[in-house]
Amino acid sequence: MERKHLWAALLLLAIACFVFPASSDSLLRISLKKRQLDISSLNVANVARLEDRYGKHVMKDIEKKKKKKKSDTNSDIVSLKNYLDAQYYGDISIGSPPQNFTVIFDTGSSNLWVPSSRCYFSIACWIHSKYKARKSSTYTKKGESCSIHYGSGSISGFLSQDNVQVGDLVVTDQVFIEATRESSVTFIVAKFDGILGLGFKEIAVGNTTPVWYNMVKQDLVKEPVFSFWLNRDINAKEGGELVFGGVDPKHFKDKHTYVPLTQKGYWQFKMGDFSIGNQSTGFCEGGCAAIVDSGTSLLAGPTAVVTQVNHAIGAEGVLSMECKETISQYGEMIWDLLVSGVTPDQICLQVGLCYLNGAQHLSSNIRSVVEKENEGSSIGEAPLCTACEMAVIWMQNQLKQKTTKESVLEYVNQLCEKLPSPMGQSVIDCNSISSMPNVTFNIGDKDFVLTPDQYILKTGEGIATICLSGFVALDVPPPRGPLWILGNVFMGVYHTVFDYGNLQLGFAEAA
């Protein structure tokens, strides 16, 4: 599920950062410092990120301030930057003597790749740093071809092996991808050279061993743990810290709440209910899959829930004709079926907007593919099926409050008007932030609250200020979904521990 164009006028800051590796406590620290960034550079990032791995492509940083200096504790500090106050990246070195590259430290992928000197026909390679194997005395030829496909492009190349340095830690004999082709305009305008994945080997392309695995295997870190602290104070110089080998107690309050991983690959766990204000949305009462992703800027969730959030905060989405058409033609029928006791997962089937293939619930356009050989059908009505399923969720939740049919149908029509735009972004009135509700994620039987100031993103100053919803819609079908992606909007509020040794995630209020 490698996953994640452009939005006009959005949020942001960028951050220059520093790494504190190999200190006296055997931790490799990556600290981040902030500086203001022209907001025009925000475009390409957030939706592109989601379309990347979930289809996901990531942004690169061309700006190359590579500086190293010694701290008072004799630990190296490697300059890092924070793109868009959400995408964190920094410098690594490959080979002997070291060749420098800027990479994203990304918990949502598992490969290390950088452009190759043998990349001749991709413009992106000409404007980014390229790895030159012939100049490294520790290079070992591998040669196997491989590629990574993203939602808006792909990279392809071949495997090579060399030493990789992050701070003072040198990972020997690391296999990585030399990219010889970057087939997307996005990579041309991207802000980094490559990606250093911090996910699990299960999602690594080419069956390669991730850099983090080798850090642990080669006894370079104190513990098989790394942790993120992201400073969301826009006035602070320090943007955050990524610690390899442990946690920094200065960056969190009280104890962490730990939850076990439910599936290796991404850092995935089971999340409980999601509430707006003090009211459950009813979508994740039985639990939802969730992923913590340091490479994703915002909070991504099912369209049905994100629409309710946007309605509650007054966000202006794009009018969905399919949604309103469904409510107009089938709203009363859906209501009557719910009241009569028909189970929610059967209603859209009975209405005729979705189709059941064996034990699987399929939308009509999937049905056309399934039946193509037998019937030659090419008619697809997936938008109406999706709209029906969302309407059922909304109406079912309203029924619990003993609301009248007329008021429910009016409410659902309002939700239709707040559906997120195809680009995922929704704008809100900055003057209304103080009256917006908190939102709550239930994780490990504990509530993790985000206030409006934390989930609303601001860009610009004075009359040019624009406020954006920190929620974007992402619909991942079963069995993998429904799925939430908790990006840096969430990680900025809650210090996050990635415990590789115990296969768990820990969350505590950031200090």
Q: Which residues participate in catalysis according to the annotation?
A: 106, 293
Q: Which helix (H) or strand (E) holds 166?
A: strand 153-166
Question: What letter does residue 210 receive in the DSSP assignment?
Answer: P
Buried b (16+ CB within 10 A) or exposed e, 195-232: bbbbbbeebbbbebebbbbbbbeeebbeebbbbbbbbb
Strand, coil or helix: 280:
strand
Cα–Cα distance between 491 and 511 in angstroms, integer? Answer: 12
Instruction: Report which of 371, 339, 375 is spatially closest to residue 355, judged by C-alpha positions.
Output: 371
According to DSSP, residue 3 is labeled B
Q: How many CB atoms lie within 10 A of CB 254?
A: 8
Determine contact, residues 6/15, Cβ cutoff 8 Å.
Answer: no
| Three-state DSSP class for residue 90 | strand
Q: Which of 473, 472, 441 is nearest to 86 (CA)?
A: 472
Report DSSP state, residue 463.
G
Instruction: Please give the Cα distance from 132 to 138 (Å, whole number).
Output: 12
Alpha carbon distance 169, 81 (integer Å):
19
Cα 411 to the center of its chain, rounded Å: 30
15 closest CA partner among 298, 285, 242: 242
Q: Which helix or strand (DSSP H or E) is residue 271 part of?
A: strand 268-271
**Residue 24 CA: distances (Å) to CA of 75, 171, 221, 360:** 8, 19, 12, 56
Distance CA 263, CA 11 (A): 33
